[in-house]
Each structure stands twice: as structure tokens, then as C-alpha cells.
Amino acid sequence: MLPRVKDVTPLPDYKLELTFTNGEVKVYDCQPLLHFGVFTELADQDYFRQVRVSLGTVMWPNEQDICPDTLYIDSR
């Protein structure tokens, strides 16, 4: 099993700084999601900044979430 998200900080340009349970800190770019289904709400910067950690991944108030494995593999 890949590491899970322990902490998240929203950054400019729809990026998330993620701290994983193994201590790694990576940045995930959410821009490709902004025109896709339930993720279109994330285009609102105020809403995007409401991201929080939940059950080892990131989640927004209307329950959008991203697979923790995707976050780990696709982050830089």
C-alpha cells in the first residue's frame, strides 16, 4: 500500500502541497481536473482552499476527493 496523505496545504494555481505518512512532501496539480464532472467546483479559488485531509486523502466540503494512490503517484 502506498503512503497516505497526512497534511495538505492549498497553493496558488490549483496546486496542493501534500505531506504523506512516509514523510515525503510533494505537490499535486489539480488543474487538469477543473473541467471534469464533480471537480468543476474546484475552479472557485475560495472553495479550492477549503481542502482538508480525510481518511488518508484530500476532500472538499461537497465530498469531492482524489484517490490517495493517484495523489502519491502523480505528485512531484
Q: What is the pTM of this model?
A: 0.94
- The stretches in the chain having pLDDT less than 70 are none
> What is the model's pLDDT at position 1?
81
Question: What residue ranges do the domains of the chain occupy?
Answer: 5-74
Would you state the CATH architecture of domain 5-74?
2-Layer Sandwich (3.30)
Contacts 24+ apart (CB under 8 A), 57-60: 57/4, 57/5, 58/5, 58/8, 58/16, 58/18
pLDDT at 25: 98
